[in-house]
């Protein structure tokens, strides 16, 4: 399956690290890096060409340190590789992407000076929880109380039959 989780909780997700690079498409570049890793693993030289830059499998593995959920995370050494590839112009540019990124934060992480890129960094703050009403039996919406009706008590009328649904599905 996946290698054991070696303190990967302190590593940011690969997409989060790529979002710190300005003017690139993070998901697109994650996929391209994954393809490069696949090619390097099958290459006799254990390296791949990434937009004119040669990357070894060992370097690429620092970008794909998997956590327990199987998500790729970036080690500080991998962050150094991302910065190098960015400076060398290996990533495709998207002019319509107006995100400035944060090269300084990625550089600090690569040097071991920054910790995890915080969750919800891109949302501008932590998620807000919804306040729960004091009376749990009914919710208020625009001044009216909504009654809770159990699903078994609701009668459905004019519902198409299963035969009708399958016939329509076959016609489409």
Confidence (pLDDT) at 102? 83
Instruction: Say what the pTM is.
Output: 0.62
How do the domains of the chain map onto residue ranges?
8-120
Q: What is the tens place of the pLDDT at every residue in 3-53?
A: 444 566 678 899 999 999 988 888 999 999 999 999 999 999 999 999 889
Side-chain half-sphere CA neighbours of 54 within 13 A: 4
Q: How many helices (H) and strands (E) does the chain have?
A: 6, 6
Q: What is the pLDDT of residue 11?
A: 87
Q: What is the pLDDT of residues 115-167, one digit of tens each?
A: 655 544 444 444 445 555 555 544 444 455 555 555 555 555 565 555 555 55
Q: Would you state the pLDDT for residue 165?
A: 53
Residue 65 confidence (pLDDT) above 60? yes
């Amino acid at each position: 399956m996946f290698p054991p989780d070696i303190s990967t909780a302190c590593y940011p997700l690969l997409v989060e690290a790529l979002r710190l690079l300005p003017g690139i498409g993070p998901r697109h570049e994650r996929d391209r890096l994954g393809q490069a890793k696949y090619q390097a693993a099958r290459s006799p030289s254990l390296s791949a060409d990434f937009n004119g830059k040669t990357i070894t499998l060992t370097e690429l593995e620092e970008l794909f340190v998997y956590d327990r959920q199987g998500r790729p995370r970036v080690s500080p050494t991998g962050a150094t590789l991302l910065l190098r590839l960015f400076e060398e112009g290996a990533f495709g540019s998207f002019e319509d992407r107006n995100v400035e990124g944060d090269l300084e934060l990625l550089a600090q992480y690569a040097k071991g000076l920054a910790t995890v890129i915080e969750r919800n960094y891109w949302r501008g703050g932590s998620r807000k929880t919804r306040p729960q009403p004091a009376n749990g039996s009914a919710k208020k919406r625009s001044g009216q109380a909504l009654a809770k009706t159990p699903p078994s008590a609701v009668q459905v009328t004019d519902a198409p039959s299963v035969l009708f649904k399958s016939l329509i599905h076959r016609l489409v």
